[in-house]
Amino acid sequence: MNINQLTIKQARDGLRKRKFSSFEIVQSCLAEIKKRKKLNAFITVCEKEALEKARKADKEIKDGTDLPLFGIPISVKDIYLTKNIRTTAASKVLDDYIPQYSATVIEKLEENGAIIIGKTNCDAWAHGSSGENSDYGPTRNPWGEEYVPGGSSSGSAVSVSSSMCLASTGTDTGGSIRLPASFCNVVGLKPTYGRVSRYGIVAMASSLDSIGHFTKDVEDSALILSITAGKDLNDATMPNKRVDDYEGYLEKGVKGVRIGIPKEYFLEGLDKRVKEKVEQKVKKLEELGAKIEIISLPHTEYATACYYIIQPAEVSSNLARYDGVRYGNNRTYFGDEAKRRTMLGVYVLSSGYYEAYYKKAMQVRTLIKRDFDGAFKKVDVIITPVSPTLPWKIGEKADPLSMYLSDIYTVTANLAGIPGLSVPIGFIDSLPVGMQILGPQFSEGKLFQTGKQIENL
């Protein structure tokens, strides 16, 4: 195994035992980035800076310094502000924007020793489910280059899946971490809304955006969240809630865990092969002592329509600041999807339509949240597919509506503000398949507990 293919835990152990250096890990990742340039996973590669930081980390490791991510190369979705590193949100509007400060999450990761190896490609402004909407060209799936990797955090998932780094950051507004994690055979976490700071991250839809990450296994995901979670005074939407010992959940097993299977997620439209894969894993969890219960989330059928009213409304508000006056290029640089969502958002917020559309969607959102609240009185976690289909070919879904429907199993978690974890469960026709674990707000530990067992099956 090449050292760039290691998990964070394996790399940390190797660094501590002097089996290899941080410089060698970074070099190995950079070589993979160059080798697989066709995947178009990166917009900006920080080669010189990453190598310099790796040299410094190696010196400090020799001197006895030990941090959770010391010397570990990570990639960053190009929607996170990074001080003195170009941040584009994959849009030519911000083609030459250099931030003067970093997002809180970036500061936390760097304070714990992480090395930023580059900024990853994504759907422009995080608008998309496939990775095809970037102004810098589509990202390609490492398991089949003619296929989409999922979006919007496409480059982040690809960079981890193809070992261009050991972990990556992402954002999830309606499935933008979980879908690419499923399509690229990596672990993807969407935390509870407000669990991780949104400060310094380009806003898409402010009441839905969740800040998460991609890793090669569940254990690494728990480690990253233990670093990024917690109160930030710069983000007023964060409750002052204690951060759990997430790694302590990993070896608890699933005996006695109550797992809900929502019947609405297994109806027409779901690929039969995906359904069988999920059911096989659920059966094995039951054999390990988990208690399986069929549940109902009756308002699921309205979730996609509800989401695609609320989200464009908030998008239109957030994109209004990009006027080309204070920074960035003018609005003629906006792509088709940004224009589409802005126009839809302005429409549903306009006089005469606000009551009919936006207010009604917010009422449905409350009902969806109540569905989950009621379900979690009966079960500890809920298991569902991530996507109704396998990855599709690039250019196959030219109709925006068919693209939006790919989020049908993921948008509910964002509407309800609950956490979701995507864990790989195998392959169909050589393409990856993931399974989604949902839990009550701030129950990420339970997700890691269940996810670790699925990973071990």
* Residues annotated as part of the active site: 77, 152, 176
Measuring CA to CA, how many Å separate 29 from each of 249, 363, 455? Answer: 30, 47, 25
Structure token pair of residue 147: 């296929």
Helices 360-375 and 303-319 pack at an angle, to 10 degrees, of 120
**β-bridge partners, 77:** 120
Pairing between strand 420-428 and 187-190? antiparallel
**Phi, psi angle pair for 77, to nearest 5°:** -55, 135
- Burial-class residue 251 by CB neighbours within 10 Å (0-12, 13-18, 19+): exposed
**β-bridge partners, 422:** 188, 436
Q: Which residues of 186-197 are buried (b: 16+ CB within 10 A; e: fewer)?
A: bbbbbbbbbbbb
Q: Are 151 and 125 in contact (CB under 8 A)?
A: no
Q: Which amino acid is at 243?
A: V
Please state, in angstroms and rounded to a whole number, the distance separating the CA atoms of residues 45 and 39.
14
**Phi, psi angle pair for 67, to nearest 5°:** -125, 155
First to last CA, the chain: 22
CB atoms within 10 A of CB 19: 12
Please state, in angstroms and rounded to a whole number, the distance separating the CA atoms of residues 170 and 213.
5
Please state, in angstroms and rounded to a whole number, the distance separating the CA atoms of residues 53 and 217.
25
Contacts of 41 (CB under 8 A, 6+ apart): 33, 75, 120, 121, 139, 154, 155, 158, 159, 162, 164
Q: What order of strands is seen across the sheet that includes strand 258-262? A: 42-45, 115-120, 73-77, 167-172, 210-215, 187-190, 420-428, 431-438, 381-385, 258-262, 291-295
